[in-house]
Every structure is written in C-alpha cells, then in structure tokens.
Amino acid sequence: MSSPNEKIEFVKKPFPSKILNIGMICFVLGAVLIIAGYFVDHTRAAFSNLIILMVLISVGLGSLFFIGIEYIAGAVWSTVFRRVPEFLGGVLLIVPLIAIPVFLNSHGLYHWTHEEAVQSDEILLNKSSYLNLNFFLIRLIFYFILWIGFYLFLTKNSKKQDKTNDAKLSKINIKISAIMMLFYAITITFAAVDLLMSLEPHWFSTIIGVYYFAGTLLAGLSVATFFIVYFNENGYLIKGIVSDHYYSLGAFLFAFTNFWAYIAFSQFLLIWYANLPEETFWYLHRWEGSWIYFSIALIIIRFVIPYFYLLSQPSKMNPKKLLFASVWIFFAHIVDIFWLAMPTLNKNNVPLGWIELSIPLLLVGLIIIVLYFRYKSSNLVPIGDPKLKRSIDFRL
C-alpha cells in the first residue's frame, strides 16, 4: 500500500546517555530514600508514596488524553511528535506497582479504614458501603485495567502502522479514543475521589475530579513538551519542526494553566460562599500554621509565574523558555498534589525533609526509565501515520 510518507526518511539515534544517567541516579537516590523512610516513619513515607502515585497517574493519563484527543479532533500539528506522549503514557504500566505499598499502608493513610472509627462515626458509617478496603481495591484494579488496556491498544496500532502504513489503523484508533474518553472522564474523577478526597472522609467537593483532571493535563503536557523540545533541539526528531509547532505546545500550557486556576478558584468560591462546616474545614487546615505560606506559594508557583512567563507570543515559541516552563509546571504539579495530600498527615506544619525529597527524585527517575524502554522498542516518529507529512509542513 502506498503511503504519503514513503519519501520521509527517519534515522533513529541511541537514547541520549545524559538523560538516562540523570534518570538512573534520581531513581536510585529516590528509591533509597523512600525505602529508608518506610523504616523510619512508615506513615510519612506512605504519604510520599501516594503523592508519587498520583503524579505518575497524572503524567500517564495526561499523555493518554493528548493521544486520544489528537485522533478524535483529527489534529495534524502534533502528529510528528505524538510518539513522545505515547512513550510517556507507558508510566501507566508501572502505576499498579507504585500503588501496592499505598494499598498495604492504607491504614495509615485513610481514616475510614479504622473499623472502630467507622462504628463510632455516623458519617463514616453511612459511607462504609463505598469506603471499604475490598471495594476500594476492586475500583483501583478496574481503573488500572481500563487505563492500561486503552493505552496498549492505541499504541499497538500506532506502532503497527510504522510497518504497514495502513490508514485504517488511524480510523480504528479514532473510534477507540472516542470510547476511551467516556471511561476516562469517569475513572479519573473516581480515582481523585478515592485516592485524594477520601483522605479527609468528612470533606466533599463536587469539583475535585475536574481539579485533578486540570492538573493531569498540565502534568502530561509539560513532561511531553520538555522531551519534544529536547529531542528536536538535539536532532532526534525529523527536520521540519519549527517555532509554529512550539507555539502550539506553549499555547496549550498557557491555556491549561488558566483552566487549572479557574477550576481551583471555582472550588474555593463555592465552598467559601456556602460556608458549610463540613466543607470549610478542609481549607482552614491549609490556612493554619506554616501551611498558610505554602498555600500562598502554591498560587504563585502554580499560576502567577507560569501565566506571566507564557503570556507573550515569543515565550511560547522559544525552545529554551519552553524547556524551563515545562520543568517549572511539572514541579508545580508536584507541589499541588503535595498540598492536597500532606495536610492530612500534619495539619499545623508543612512536613518537608529527606523523606519528601524522594518524591521528585523517584518521579524523574521513573519517568526517564520508562521513556528509555519505550524508546528502545519503537520509532520516535510515527512514520506510518498518513498525517505525518502534513504535520511536518504545519504552519500557523
């Protein structure tokens, strides 16, 4: 079968050793710290483990969303580097492993796992049909099977297309992506409720699912943007990716930064306006002790700085600025998840120490290692996709 990409040549280079070395060092240091943390303070280490899990899910689902939305929308501009989020979505394959210690230490994380507390608390007793360990585990397994299943199906067809140049595979992926989005919206919402909101089982928010989704979009896109720009600037991608492609990535980072701020403020506004004790205590805990400074810092780090940094058009097209912005936004997401989870452990002071240092180290290490193994097994460019030539020629 003839392909519109048959004249496009792509030579795959070895994975950059500098990036791999950084990943291996970060992984080893992070693993040592988190393991040592379980021996010194297993509850505190479990909270760090939970944050690592939620950020990894964010990167994986954010990448999966990027893949799915390209197929559904018929987007052209992103096809040339779609394989990068396809690789990054591979972190979903290791998410169940990271979730195991979280589940095994659920007694230290989740108050609703204490039988005596449930029996003496009417609210927890009424929620016990949903918040119980058996059903909790069943739901987690269901989420993981769905996410991994959709990821493997979409990437398998994409990889197969490199050899067959069969345009029908793209049409199949469009249909699968449309189905996936329905389950995606439901499962990411329930996952946010189960793993994050249930840390405070008396609290509830109707926006927590969308809040986590907004952060997930930024997490997946920021990591993908970093490696897309890095690979392109160092000659790993096909020639033809220009500032117009960069601008689209920067515009998405800017747009989703605003989207996150809108959702975050909406959640706060509704709770503040209603002024219900069962809702407001959650924010009050984040406005006491040293948490007040952390909450103010979150607003600046998560919204103000990336907003003004990416506000101008040139900043969205400059590769160096995009690299910095993507790293900043990714670590801002870690800060955000930390802010969501850690006040449950310590309501008066921000717990920052060597155990928490394992969070960014392990995340960077795991992401790079997964990227490395996915890189080894596939082309960095989807050379069989019928949209590739148009993607290379894309101009605003």
How confident is the model at residue 6, as a pLDDT? 58
Q: How many beta carbons lie within 10 A of that of residue 181, not counting itself? A: 16
Contacts of 260 (CB under 8 A, 6+ apart): 211, 214, 215, 217, 218, 302, 303
CA atoms within 13 A on the CB side of 168: 3
How confident is the model at residue 1, as a pLDDT? 44
Angstrom distance (rounded) from CA 311 to CA 305: 10
H helices of the chain, where?
17-40, 42-73, 83-88, 95-104, 106-109, 115-119, 122-127, 133-164, 168-195, 208-233, 243-274, 277-285, 291-299, 305-309, 313-317, 319-341, 358-377, 388-392
Amino acid in the structure at residue 32: V
Amino acid in the structure at residue 44: R
Contact between residue 91 and residue 370 where contact means Cβ atoms under 8 Å apart: yes
Angstrom distance (rounded) from CA 238 to CA 49: 38
102, 108, 113, 116: CA torsion to nearest 10: 170
Amino acid in the structure at residue 211: Y
Angstrom distance (rounded) from CA 136 to CA 102: 12
pTM above 0.85, yes or no: yes
pLDDT along the chain (396 residues), means of 10: 60 92 97 96 96 98 97 94 96 97 95 93 93 96 97 96 92 96 96 96 92 97 97 92 93 97 94 87 93 96 97 94 97 97 93 95 97 94 92 88
Angstrom distance (rounded) from CA 214 to CA 395: 28
Comparing C-alpha atoms, which of 384, 251, 225 is closest to residue 320? 225
Rg, Å, the chain Cα set: 21
